[in-house]
Amino acid sequence: MKRLLVSSILLTAVAVNPVHAQVNTQRGSVLGGLAGAAAGAAIGEHNDKPVVGALIGGAVGLATGAALGNARDRQVAETRAWQYQQQQAQYQQQQIQLSRTVTPQDVITMSRSGLSDTVIINHIQTNGVRYDLQVADVITLHENGVSQNVISAMQNARGRSSMTATSVPVYQSAPPVITSPPVVVEQYVVPSYYHPAPRPYYVPRYHHHHHHSSGMHFSFGR
């Protein structure tokens, strides 16, 4: 009978929680259903109705466990959504800052446009460079008429405001926060009736005595 009740609770929990159900909701419904069924069976046994008690307790436990598990799932989902939004905002900010950095081609274009070295250097110091200059970059800048002062400014700016491009934001799930769900304890008081123990009482026993009649006997002699 107990195996049948446990199987019924498990089947009910699976039916309530489909395949895409959240983990904590399903786990809470199963554990709550089993605990409720066990408690209900123990209570119903006092009334000679363990099956009814197990079914009622299992239903109540399943609903309570599912509600607690669902609340935990919502909390986890909200935490992950908030963290994802923060990472998206950080990624967008990095992309904006990266788009402002100066490349060797930008410096060549400004130099060919006739801008002074002071203006180009100020622009480099304000926005930084896209990446550290390699030997080929230095040669290309020199061959395109960029002055030594501007090239030196680009080399000195690498440690202050250069940034490494980030292709896509990397999402990392938040570490699980282990919290103990509230435990609902329902106490059922089974009325007990006091039956006083039988008190001993004594029945007097009467003893019947045979009394011999006494009399005076006279004898007369001749």
Concatenated DSSP letters of 31-51:
HHHHHHHHHHHHHHGGGT-HH
* Cα 201 from Cα 207, distance rounded (Å): 19
Three-state DSSP at 18 gives coil
What value does the mean pLDDT take over residues 188-212? 51
* Per-residue confidence (pLDDT) for residue 158, from 0 to 100: 65
* Per-residue confidence (pLDDT) for residue 20, from 0 to 100: 44
Let me know: does 22 contact 70? Beta carbons within 8 Å: yes
User: Nearest to residue 43, comparing CAs of 30, 29, 33, 55?
Assistant: 55
Q: Poorest-confidence range of 84-98, 100-114, 151-165, 196-210?
A: 196-210
Q: How far is CA 33 from the centre of its chain?
A: 19
* Per-residue confidence (pLDDT) for residue 136, from 0 to 100: 95
pLDDT, one tens digit per residue, over 54-91 is 677 667 777 777 777 777 878 888 888 889 988 988 88
Domain boundaries, given as residue ranges, for the chain: 2-89, 101-161
Q: How far is CA 57 from the centre of its chain?
A: 25
Place of tokens 């180009």: 120
Q: Helices H, strands E: what count in the chain?
A: 8, 0
Structure tokens at 104: 């060797």
pTM strictly above 0.85 = no
pLDDT, one tens digit per residue, over 8-55 is 444 444 444 444 446 777 777 677 667 766 666 666 666 666 666 667
* Per-residue confidence (pLDDT) for residue 142, from 0 to 100: 95
